[in-house]
Amino acid sequence: IKTPFFFRITQGVENKNNFSGLSGLGLYNDKTVVACKDFCDSGERIVNFAMIKNACIDSSLSGYGTELSEVLQSIEEQQLYTVEKIRQHFWRMFVADAFLGNFDRHNGNWGIIVNELTRDTRIAPVYDNGSCLYPQLTDTQMEKILHCRAEIESRLYVFPNSALKINNEKINYYEFLTETKNMECIQGLQYVACYNAFYLMP
């Protein structure tokens, strides 16, 4: 029941970070739903990153393998879009997913929009945020968590983890972001932190 509301909140946060599609809440068959604007114009289609990766790397995991090193290698090898801009988008998206507790950002739910007539390309807005903000928690569970520091800290420092992996282990967002030496990731962290600090000001 809460998923549409959480989805809408995450879209709102990402809209303010300049890389999400537009969405709104509504009713359909007496159920609360979230409606997302179709961000593909006529003649355009999304090429998800799994398809891009599959064309770049000879991997036993094919396009859906989420080993971070393979994902980054595929970004370097792909020829659909400017490498530097995709790297920048990837790390900003990674940081935003960490901020929102998204445990399901995989290669099938981000990518490049291609115009099949002109062959022009652009990065797709961030979409598919249904796994953010612990959508399966009940009101009772949320209230319990809010009154327990240990429960809150567990959800800040321990889980959820990213769908991306290092050495076949899911990445812990907190550990990665506090220990990384990757300058583009650090710049992504600064970008998202700056935007959120500005928009959350009273």
Alpha carbon separation from 173 to 24, 94, 168, 170 (Å, rounded):
28, 9, 15, 9
Mean pLDDT of 95-106: 93
Q: What residue ranges do the domains of the chain occupy? A: 41-199
The pLDDT value recorded for residue 20 is 55
Query: Residue 92: pLDDT band by 50, 70, 90 thresholds?
Result: very high
pLDDT at 171 (0 to 100): 98
pLDDT score, position 9: 52
User: Does residue 1 register a pLDDT over 60?
Assistant: no
From residue 89, give the alpha-carbon distance in Å to each of 26, 41, 62, 141, 146.
29, 21, 22, 34, 32
Residue 101: pLDDT above 80? yes
Mean pLDDT confidence for 192-197: 73
pLDDT at residue 145 greater than cutoff 60: yes
User: Which range is least confidently modeled, 96-100, 167-171, 176-180, 195-199?
Assistant: 195-199
Written as six digits, the tokens of 74 are 């595929």
Q: Which of 3, 191, 201 is nearest to 99 (CA)?
A: 191
Residues 6+ apart with CB under 8 A from 17: 92, 96, 191, 192, 195, 196
Query: 12 pLDDT exceeds 90?
Result: no
Phi and psi at residue 65, to the nearest 5°: -65, 135
User: For residue 196, what pLDDT is reported?
Assistant: 62
Inform me whether the pLDDT recorded for 136 exceeds 90. no
Ranges of beta strands (E only) in 8-67 are 23-28, 31-36, 44-48
Residues in the chain: 202
pLDDT for 154 equals 94
Residue 23 has what pLDDT? 61
Query: Does residue 134 sit in helix, strand or coil?
Result: coil
CATH topology of domain 41-199: 1.10.1070
Q: What does the alpha-carbon distance between residue 92 and residue 85 come to, in Å, rounded to a whole number?
A: 11
What tens digit of pLDDT does each residue of 27-86 get?
A: 778 877 777 778 899 999 999 999 999 988 665 557 889 999 999 999 999 999 999 999
